[in-house]
Chain A
Amino acid sequence: MIEARSLTKRYGAKAAVTDLSFTVRPGVVTGFLGPNGAGKSTTMRMILGLDRPTSGTVTVNGADYAAHSAPLHEVGALLEAKAIHTGRTAYNHLLALAATTGIPRSRVDEVIDLVGLREVARKRAGGFSLGMGQRLGIASALLGDPDTLILDEPVNGLDPEGILWIRNLLKDLAAEGRTVFVSSHLMSEMALTAEHLIVIGQGRLIADTSVAEFISRASSGSVKVRSPQAAELRELLAGPDVTVSSADEGTLTVEGLSSDRIGVIAAENRITLFELAPKEASLEEAFMELTGDAVEYRAPGQKPGAGAGSPTGTGAAGTAAQTDTDVEVTA
């Protein structure tokens, strides 16, 4: 259980997180979604006591993270930037962390096997690929068999197989009754992994909802109709709950009627249809619609909402661009 109350963080004049309140519950995977620069990593660092909130509080399992006597058993974390000394082997990295809280060597071996790093465990982490680094980070997070897991963009740099592995791992951990909090800037990824969503943009809460609800809200259910008798059809479709708009002559966008119903009405009145296309907003579109105003990095002239993860300027956006190609498997 993670509880944030009016969490605010400013770096100098820049507000990274503003008045953010949410609760992450055990038993389900909770996605933490927001475009780059939204404040996800900052929030996660505050949960771990690494960054001090400007105001507000956040507790893990009922207490400040730093107040727990056995923090690695309470929370396991994978942070965005690698938190591994490049000169140390994976095994020694885990061994050093384990030692702080009396975790035995046998557990170190266990997590190394769990994340599939057995072959490279005695190699220095500096030579690891991004994916291997992520696996080592996940091994560190699992070391203390924690009740709460916090993972910042865990699929970053993983191949499709690795992504699938993470998804299943997270679901299994949640099914065991743990609190699992995972950030991503990709709605498609969250839709496949998470059950609950906390969406932020420019450091503020945008939505706190179940994924199912988010998806049903996203499917606006408009229908695109193209017909040589568009004007005639428009008259016939008119009704109290129906809105019809027309972008150009011969094309209608209908809301409030199903495509089936429109087809029947057209047939009954002997109206020729060239196209009848139900249009469901994709998850990614819904996400962008929601966060459109909150996207931080946008190329000049780019449409609002089309900007999430675009490689403009900052380093954060740069890594995001790479993930985009890695991750966009399904939606």
Chain B
Amino acid sequence: MTAVAEPAGPARGAARRPHPGKVTQTRVLTSEWIKFRSLRSSYWSLLVGCGAMIGLGLLFSMVITSKWDTMSPLRRRDFDAITVPLRGYFLGQLAVGVLGVMVVTGEYSTGMIRASLSAVPKRLPVLWAKATVFAVAVWLTTTATAFVCFFIGQGFFSGKHIQADLSTPGALRVVIGTGLYLTVVGLLGVGLGTVIRSTAGAIAALFATLLVLPVLGEVLNFTSWGDKVNPYLPSNAGQALLAVHTEASGQMRPWPGFALFAGYAVAVLAVAAYLLKRRDA
């Protein structure tokens, strides 16, 4: 629209002001970071998730150390100094998953999504920015927490000379992998939240995928299908990265397993992007 033929108002020139305020992916990232850091639920979820990881790691390490002297040789053989202190990831994934869902569904339940999408009508930059901000925040905090858990555990174990260190084969991979696995769990939550748009529905779908599918998969173990399906279920594949030995257990190899898990998340995010773009807000 250039100078309109309509009677122009007194305070307005004929020419339109140039607009420097282009929407860019970087600016949308900044916006999503402001949104993330300005909600208490972000801090609470991360605090609960990381707290549970540390708490559970502490508990396992402490109990095993105190019972070590009276433990049967069989149980001693099953003990793994690398994975035991990190067992808390199982609780951590609940908190991280819920946060990932809420980052999106919180906008739908409050109506904020309409403000977000009016500001960024191309829409997809909002999804990418949300996913990025969330992934970086979760990855940094959970990776740091994984290292803390690892070292706490080794502190206990060193009293019995059963500790591992980061140079133990598989140790660094499992510690780093814990943060990566949890980040992808969260991204799965972001994707499902965008697809389903309701908090309860998306959380149910996420936990059904991560927790219920593997249990249902166990039924297949009574048939010849077990080996063909179970290793490739999302959480089974992703958790291959968190195991020191995968050969005997029939799991996928660690990195291919994780790549498949990440692939599932990418697929869900792709569906989310398609629906976000198409649907009415």
Contact = CB atoms under 8 A, between A and B. Distances in A.
Interface of A: 1, 25-27, 45, 48-52, 61-62, 65-66, 68-75, 77, 79, 81-89, 92-93, 95-97, 99-103, 140, 144, 147, 174-178
B119 A97 contact: yes
A52 B277 CA distance: 10
Contact of B10 (A86, A97, A147, A175): A175
Nearest to B281: A50
Nearest to A69: B22
A27 B9 contact: yes
17 contacts: A26-B6, A45-B280, A49-B121, A52-B278, A72-B118, A79-B111, A79-B115, A87-B41, A88-B39, A97-B115, A100-B23, A100-B27, A101-B23, A176-B9, A176-B10, A176-B11, A177-B12
Given A25-B6, A99-B31, A84 B22 contact: no
Given A70-B22, A92-B38, A97-B119, 9 more contacts: A1-B1, A48-B114, A50-B281, A71-B121, A83-B111, A88-B38, A100-B31, A101-B119, A177-B9
A135 to B, nearest CB: 15
A137 to B, nearest CB: 9
Interface residue tally on B, bucketed by range: 35 or more
A99 B34 contact: yes
A73 B19 contact: yes
B280 A52 contact: yes
B112 A85 contact: yes
Given A69-B19, A71-B121, A88-B39, A83 B112 contact: yes
A82 B111 contact: yes
Contacts of A26: 4, 6, 8-9
A157 B271 CA distance: 39
B18 to A, nearest CB: 9
Given A73-B19, A174-B9, A87 B40 contact: yes
B114 A62 contact: no
B247 to A, nearest CB: 47
A100 B35 CA distance: 11
Contact of A50 (B39, B112, B117): B117
Contact of B35 (A62, A88, A175): A88
B112 A84 contact: yes
Contacts of A93: 115
Interface of B: 1, 4, 6-12, 16, 19-23, 27-28, 30-32, 34-35, 38-41, 106-107, 110-115, 117-122, 278, 280-281
Interface of A is mostly: loop
B34 A66 contact: no
A84 B111 contact: yes
Nearest to B36: A96
Contact of B23 (A62, A70, A77, A175): A70
A62 B30 contact: no
A66 B7 contact: no
A62 B31 CA distance: 27
A62 B1 contact: yes
Q: Which 7 A-B residue pairings sit nearest by Cβ, starting from the closest?
A: A177-B9, A177-B12, A92-B38, A66-B121, A101-B21, A99-B31, A83-B115
Given A66-B121, A176-B11, A85 B6 contact: no
Contact of A140 (B16, B113, B115): B115
Contacts of A62: 1
A82 B11 CA distance: 31
Q: Which of A62, A87, A95, A174 has the most CB of B within 10 A?
A: A87
Contacts of A27: 6-9
A75 B31 CA distance: 19
Nearest to B123: A66
A175 B9 contact: yes
